Structure 1
């Protein structure tokens, strides 16, 4: 019996070793060209921000780089980071603070380029609330989700504008419940992405939504970007470079053809917002692609200075205990190529 157990254990080890050494699957396109099958897991269910991926797939941009792309819905940046580190997806699209936190917890994952380099983090509310400045948040009730990056950085945002946490009341709810809290009047505002909840809330309620954007009030940091596992970097570096190049090209092309990019998302999800909301979300997203250090460059090109600033924000906010060098979180030599 012990021998059978030992053999079974040995077989399992050999199977695991075999799986670990196998390369990515391939397929053949209509022209007979071999493509590498690649999975990309998003940060959430598809919304306007994700249009470039669907456009790049529809227009054959990924195929031009030898990639057969499968796009999967996500369930939050934290889970996407974990799934990427575990090899359950080849690439992830996730928020940089979730990546920083994952690396600090020992996950073997790295960014290969942040594309949204201005944070969409914001306080969102119906315009009729009469909130015109950060000072107007005093005494207000704000819907938030405990433990997320928005909640962690909100005190820093308040402090940068002369307020403290005690000046507002935070109502904890899950991510899906924040819009309902504002629309029902339970809260005056919510913490969210200006590229996500605002356009949806505006359409559903039929009332104009306004924003206090963190980046407009003294606090900017990296947001969503492309990431992969260290194993992918070690074993399939050429594929990673091709994915980075294709994604940068897809974003640049989608920016020039926004209507077609949004149309490419048709049927992407049962939860897909309306075409108008998708268009509004994507237009807002395109305002976030660069910092002063990267303006005029290709989408997804990062610089060390911006990484250092982002790391310091989340170190100060307590999201990470130790501020490592940028290279601990970002693969510095995989910038998009022309």
Structure 2
């Protein structure tokens, strides 16, 4: 299973989504939970079809953590972070789970959406390859060809990664490949590796090929930035602030609970999707996800606690990469007033 979190052309999709009728954003839909408690019906759209990273949502739902916070949660598969950002901004989903680069791109294009907290605070961005390639350091990429998708966050930040490791863009050939075809390109030998997420493509490539996979993680070689987190439309944050706060707490508690019970958390995903990876792949994906939850500034804090300094560093990376033309104040992207406090 691949997760092409493509940075689509926002301006092409924005008018269509913004003119559609928003639903579920007026706070009127209620239901009664198993305990007899009145619950708000809430939708959450993922960044892609369910994979290991999403286990906390299913586990939190099964364990009653969302109900504890007055929420009946419906989890929807996504089709890429950018579409999730657009759908959430337009009110077609109460909340979204999306990559921070897609959020930044959306805000810059006029989508009225903000982060409620990034949970994957260490980027899973990486170069992935079969271990037999004997690639141990960024310098070993010189002369190699990697599969990438033009315009997405990985391809846009890869030159920054190369620069930080003393390489020029011309030292590595990036072969433009459809996201769904990147794994096939490596398995077939058409490319030496791919640009992907350590919490996603790598375990799938290992499963499909039966070969060990190696990684050069951006975060271990001088480049880190925020990845996936919880988002909401500005309208939701204004009109349903109390619900938004409850949702943040429920998601944070679900991640904390899943971290303590990874096996049951993965089991909670049974039946989540017809495209669900095998359990051993889910377990590896989730295990990697658990290594991404904090930066040095948030170690020991609850999942989803962010700092303004970490946000600013992320904005600096994407300004250098050209995804952000001119960075605004952090508050334009992150609703620190609603988010979890450290």
Output the TM-score relative to the length of structure 1: 0.93
Assess if the C-alpha contact under 8 Å between 1:146 and 1:172 holds in 2: yes
CA distance in 2, matches of 1:117, 1:18: 30
Deviations 1:26-81 (A, max 9, x none): 11112221110000000011000000000000111000000000000011111100
The structure with more radius of gyration: 1
Assess if the C-alpha contact under 8 Å between 2:118 and 2:304 holds in 1: yes
2:172 to 162, 168, 173: 168
CA distance in 1, matches of 2:22, 2:52: 39
Deviation at 1:19, TM superposition (A): 7.2
- Which secondary structure does the structure 2 equivalent of 1:68 belong to? strand
Residue 87 in 1 paired to residue 91 in 2? yes
Assess if the C-alpha contact under 8 Å between 1:110 and 1:227 holds in 2: yes
Residue 222 in 1 paired to residue 205 in 2? no
Q: Show the counterpart of 1:196.
A: 200
CA distance in 2, matches of 1:20, 1:224: 23
CA distance in 1, matches of 2:234, 2:25: 14
- Which secondary structure does the structure 1 equivalent of 2:72 belong to? strand
- Which secondary structure does the structure 2 equivalent of 1:139 belong to? coil
CA distance in 2, matches of 1:224, 1:21: 22
RMSD after superposition? 1.6
Q: Show the counterpart of 1:10.
A: none
Assess if the C-alpha contact under 8 Å between 2:25 and 2:91 holds in 1: no
Deviation at 1:337, TM superposition (A): 6.5
Residue 115 in 1 paired to residue 119 in 2? yes
Residue 36 in 1 paired to residue 67 in 2? no
CA distance in 1, matches of 2:44, 2:22: 23
- Which secondary structure does the structure 2 equivalent of 1:227 belong to? strand
Q: Show the counterpart of 1:183.
A: 187
Deviation at 1:21, TM superposition (A): 8.2
Distance 1:245 1:21, change over 3 A: closer
Unpaired segments of 5 or more residues in structure 1? 1-15
Q: Show the counterpart of 1:260.
A: 264
Assess if the C-alpha contact under 8 Å between 1:245 and 1:337 holds in 2: no
Q: Show the counterpart of 1:13.
A: none
Deviations 1:156-215 (A, max 9, x none): 000000111111111111111101110111110000000000001101100000000000
Deviations 1:219-241 (A, max 9, x none): 00000000000000011001000
Deviation at 1:334, TM superposition (A): 2.0
Residue 76 in 1 paired to residue 80 in 2? yes
Q: Show the counterpart of 1:291.
A: 295
The 4+ residue runs of structure 1 with deviation greater than 4 A are: 16-21
Output the TM-score relative to the length of structure 2: 0.92
Assess if the C-alpha contact under 8 Å between 2:23 and 2:92 holds in 1: no
